[in-house]
Structure 1
Amino acid sequence: MSNEVAELKQTLEALQKEVVRLRDQEEIRKIQYKYGYYLDKCLYQEVADLFSDDKDSFVQFLGGRYRGPAGVKRLYQERFGKHFVNGRNGPIHGFLLDHPQMQGIVDVDYSASPPRASGRFRSLMQAGVHISQAAKHPRGFTQWWEGGIYENEYIRDGPDGSWRILRLRYFPFWHGDFEHGWGYKVAGFVPFMSKTYPEDPNGPDEVVTEEQRMMWPDTRVVPFHYDHPVTGQPVKEEDQRAPEFGDDPANAKPSLKLQW
């Protein structure tokens, strides 16, 4: 009888751990999905509030890295807010910025204190300025597609024990307008950041190295935070490169890295 009780206790403990793991994975997916919904409507204050106050937090975007709470605010509320919606928090008439979050894969690490997690998501964005607002909006009439990959880190350090975004890395993979599609767009459609704060008042705290910058038609793999689920092996470095058709991968650009 005592053995049966011990086995039941072990089973219960295992089930409790599994419930916690599944709950945390879902909470992290919800955080990322809510990020996308807030970004859709230019609610940049709400976006910034999803991030941890940890000094090691950052956002990596277009070759720039915005560090800490001040950097996060500078990117979303100042750079995006001023450029897209004239400094307000919320949408403006005739400006589209749909930013859906898809294919979320989340892995939680309970060995860290507080617990941390990694998540990979895909976005397929539709954006533009309606013709009726072309004369008022600084971008004029425009309509474009954008595809990108997120490889993020999360931390459970909210005041109520909730999950928050620790490090967000967004790689906008390709752009294309509706007139020509993505086959004509090249690097430079949205320029990489080159000046840091405070030289650029809305700039990043640092710029990443040249080999870590990627834009269509560069098709290198954005590194996976996880190993292969069957073999247990990571993707080989050379297989993450993207040589031109028929060329030797050894002569192609080195693979991207998920740096701190």
Structure 2
Amino acid sequence: MADTTKEIADLKALVESLRKEVSKVSDEAEIKKLHFKYGYYLDKCLYKEVVDLYSNDPETFVEFIGGRYRKKEGVRRLYIDRFAARFVQGRNGPVHGFLLDHAQMQDIVDVSPDGIHAHARFRALMSAGTHQSIAKTHPREFVQWWEGGLYENEYVKEDGVWKIWKLRYFPFWHADFERGWSKKEDGEFIPFDTSTFAQGNITGPDEIVEQMMLWPDTRVVPFHYTHPVTGKQIEDDDLRAPHWGEKVEDSKPALVLN
């Protein structure tokens, strides 16, 4: 009888362990799909659908080129008041001749032990621009560019559904199609935000984020995860990128996730 009781207890423990593992794998898959769907919606300027992917939690934000847009209203300001107005004249959906394709790849998703929070890192590679046939009618005129960036995001399960909680997009490099990435000059990229919504910037962020970086700056966006073998975080100095021959301590500080 004692052996049978132990066997039952062991089986229950095994079932619970497998249940947790299946839930974890399922959650990871759902978060990947969530972010990939975000990319598909964004590429076709379906900004209302993008906003609906975000959590209603008051701590929700999206960080983009020098600014942090807080809460759902800040998220709407970025995607609808700013992006939709500039790219597709305020409509929800694409306009003829405007290209915005950014593939999401190298996904690493980690679900927290509580089962309702998660972190994920994705790489993005973008090809974008306007067709020559709309150069005289689109406000961007004729333009074609490449862009590489990285996401370090956080997600939350809200009412049983995974949603974007904190999205941080770090553009690594930006390049004209004709000249490539090595000849891009300072000031040719979309300007980083310098003023907030409260200061009169009607499509601006709620706060300015000082962590600005763009090629040739090659600092490392911190990893949300530890090294899979050593279990250690990367040293801060190893996240920095000094000039050749420059001392690390004289270079720009390491970036942080906050």
TM over 0.5: yes
Match of 2:161 in 1: 162
Match of 1:191 in 2: 191
Match of 1:63 in 2: 66
Matches of 1:216 and 1:192, distance apart in 2: 14
Deviation at 1:187, TM superposition (A): 4.2
* In the alignment, structure 1 residue 218 sits paired with structure 2 residue 221: no
Match of 2:227 in 1: 228
Question: What is the DSSP-based 3-state SS (H/G/I as helix, E as strand, rest coil) of the residue aligned with 1:23?
Answer: helix
Identify if the C-alpha distance between structure 1 residues 176 and 141 changes in structure 2 by more than 3 Å, giving closer, same or farther.
same
TM-score with structure 2 length normalisation?
A: 0.96
Matches of 1:206 and 1:25, distance apart in 2: 31
Check whether the contact 1:65–1:208 (CA below 8 A) recurs between aligned residues: yes
Question: What is the DSSP-based 3-state SS (H/G/I as helix, E as strand, rest coil) of the residue aligned with 2:150?
Answer: strand
| Percent identity for Structure 1 against Structure 2 | 58
1:39 pairs, out of 32, 37, 42, with 42
Deviation string 1:151-171 (CA, Å, 9 cap, x unpaired) is 0000001x4x10000000000
Matches of 1:62 and 1:174, distance apart in 2: 12
* In the alignment, structure 1 residue 92 sits paired with structure 2 residue 95: yes
**Equivalent runs, 1:124-135 vs 2, <5 Å:** 124-135=125-136
Matches of 1:258 and 1:197, distance apart in 2: 23
Matches of 1:181 and 1:222, distance apart in 2: 23
Matches of 2:114 and 2:144, distance apart in 1: 45
Deviation at 1:7, TM superposition (A): 1.2
TM-score with structure 1 length normalisation?
A: 0.95
Deviation at 1:110, TM superposition (A): 2.9
Q: Structure 2, unaligned stretches of length 5 or more? A: none
Name segments (4+ residues, structure 1) moved above 2 Å.
none
Specify the code of the residue in structure 1 equivalent to 2:162: W
Matches of 2:126 and 2:39, distance apart in 1: 10
Match of 2:51 in 1: 48
Match of 1:249 in 2: 248
Deviation string 1:146-202 (CA, Å, 9 cap, x unpaired) is 000000000001x4x100000000001100111100001144311110111041110
Matches of 2:114 and 2:124, distance apart in 1: 30
Match of 1:178 in 2: 177
Matches of 1:213 and 1:256, distance apart in 2: 9
Match of 1:19 in 2: 22
Specify the code of the residue in structure 1 equivalent to 2:39: G
Match of 1:121 in 2: 122
Deviation string 1:89-147 (CA, Å, 9 cap, x unpaired) is 000000000021111111111337xx211010010000000000000011110100000
Give the aligned length: 253
